[in-house]
Structures are given as structure tokens and as C-alpha cells.
């Protein structure tokens, strides 16, 4: 019941511009004023629909970590006697671990005192 009432109300609101009233004088315009009005409405809405361009979305994405070729050696280098070998992962400017060309983390090796790291 409510659905039919809402539909009837919507249809009646759409028909209001087409219904003649006492304020309209069709005899002066030759009876084509309604046709000109409907044609202008349809032409204007068509032009507005074609000229509308939705705004483009701006997406900010962090750049992917750089990729480097794998190291030339497959083992960690040895240090001289009486020193210790220290290793750590190489980090990029954002604090993320950098990866080599095969997707493995890159390690950085340093030789220094066994008391404290050389970094």
C-alpha cells in the first residue's frame, strides 16, 4: 500500500510540469511552448550528462624497495685473527630491509673489534 502511494506521488510530481494551469497562455505561443520546454529540458540534461567528468583519484604509494644483483660470493668473508666479523641487514631510507635480485635480504659484513660493533 505504501509502495503504491509513493509511486503515485512520484508520478504526479513528474506530471506537474506537463499539466496546463491558469497561468499558462498557449494561444500566444501557438501551442508549442510545452514542446519547446520539454525539448530544452531533454537537450540540456543530455548535454549536462555528456559534459560531466568525474574527478580522478590520487593514490600515494610508497616506492618499492630497490633491487640489487646478488653478491659475487656465496659465503661471509673471514676476518683477520683477533677481530670479529659483524653482519647486519642493509636498510633503505624508510627502515625496510633491502632485497637482492632474487628476493633475499642483503647482508652487510664488517670486521672490527669484538668489544663493540663497528657501526
Number of domains comprising the chain: 2
Tell me how far apart the alpha carbons of residues 102 and 56 are, in angstroms, rounded to a whole number: 36
Mean pLDDT (the chain) is 75
Q: Which residue has the higher pLDDT, 67 or 92?
A: 92
| Residues 33 and 79 reside in one and the same domain | no
* Predicted structure pTM score: 0.32
Instruction: Reply yes or no on whether the pLDDT at 91 is more than 70.
Output: yes
For residue 68, the model assigns a pLDDT of 64
- Name 109's bridge partners: 87
Tell me if 8 is assigned to some domain.
yes
Please count the other Cβ atoms lying within 10 Å of the Cβ belonging to residue 86: 17
In terms of residue numbers, what domain contains 18?
2-51
Per residue in 15-73, pLDDT (tens digit) is 766 666 655 555 555 567 777 888 888 888 888 888 877 777 777 777 776 766 655 55
Amino acid at each position: 500500500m505504501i509502495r503504491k502511494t509513493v509511486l503515485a506521488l512520484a508520478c504526479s510530481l513528474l506530471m506537474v510540469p506537463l499539466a496546463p494551469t491558469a497561468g499558462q497562455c498557449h494561444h500566444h505561443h501557438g501551442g508549442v511552448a510545452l514542446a519547446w520546454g520539454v525539448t530544452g529540458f531533454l537537450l540540456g540534461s543530455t548535454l549536462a550528462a555528456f559534459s560531466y567528468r568525474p574527478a580522478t583519484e590520487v593514490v600515494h604509494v610508497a616506492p618499492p624497495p630497490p633491487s640489487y644483483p646478488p653478491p659475487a660470493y656465496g659465503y661471509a668473508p673471514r676476518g683477520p685473527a683477533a677481530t670479529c666479523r659483524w653482519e647486519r641487514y642493509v636498510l633503505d631510507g624508510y627502515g625496510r630491509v633491502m632485497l637482492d635480485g632474487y628476493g633475499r635480504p642483503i647482508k652487510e659484513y664488517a670486521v672490527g673489534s669484538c668489544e663493540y660493533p663497528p657501526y
